[in-house]
A and B are shown apart, each in its own frame.
Chain A
Amino acid sequence: TQLLEQSPQFLSIQEGENLTVYCNSSSVFSSLQWYRQEPGEGPVLLVTVVTGGEVKKLKRLTFQFGDARKDSSLHITAAQTGDTGLYLCAGAHNFNKFYFGSGTKLNVKP
């Protein structure tokens, strides 16, 4: 079983549309990270959220950490083709463990 479930698994949208991807768990995490990964490259850190209820904005990206620190969402406003990639969430749990979701593969069409 997967500790972190991401949804949807795949998302294909037109440029300019908004979207939200989700990262859910029944476990509590001390922090949660979002990464974006392009094919053949390593994941690149987008944000770390630490406090329950925290909202962070990075240009057109808005990240929210659930109040209970079990879930998170990533909202992208007016998606661009450069947003295409695999979005991974990772939760820090139990000292040295980082658990990864299986990712949401986003394709933004021109």
Chain B
Amino acid sequence: ETGVTQTPRHLVMGMTNKKSLKCEQHLGHNAMYWYKQSAKKPLELMFVYSLEERVENNSVPSRFSPECPNSSHLFLHLHTLQPEDSALYLCASSQALGGNTIYFGEGSWLTVV
């Protein structure tokens, strides 16, 4: 139990579907992150939020749309995805931007068919 909870753990969606991934952190942290992990690739940072404000968007396609309604919750809205978007999507949080350590959730396995 890392204090960062992701749902769903597994998701299969068609290329025309719209779905969302949810992340909740119970650590009182102010910064939250979305990472993508594909086979044989290092973790790729997608988005960074600090105090509900997006501070980084690493050239992520617009078919991925993040939302941070408060400092405890982070969503990743998905629409018209491609099969190559299939991956493990990891949410993480840290006490603040520039904090020493980030803590990960268990991840959401996404398969696009």
Residues of chain A touching chain B, judged by Cβ–Cβ distance below 8 Å, are: 2, 30-31, 33, 35, 40-45, 48, 50, 88, 90, 92, 95-98, 100-103
Contact = CB atoms under 8 A, between A and B. Distances in A.
Contacts, number: 61
Contacts of A43: 43, 90, 104
Interface string B1-28: 0101010000000000000000000000
B104 A44 contact: yes
A97 B35 CA distance: 12
Given A96-B48, A98-B45, A40 B101 contact: no
Contacts of A30: 98, 100
B98 A92 contact: yes
Contact of A42 (B41, B45, B50, B105): B105
Given A42-B2, A42-B105, A102 B41 contact: yes
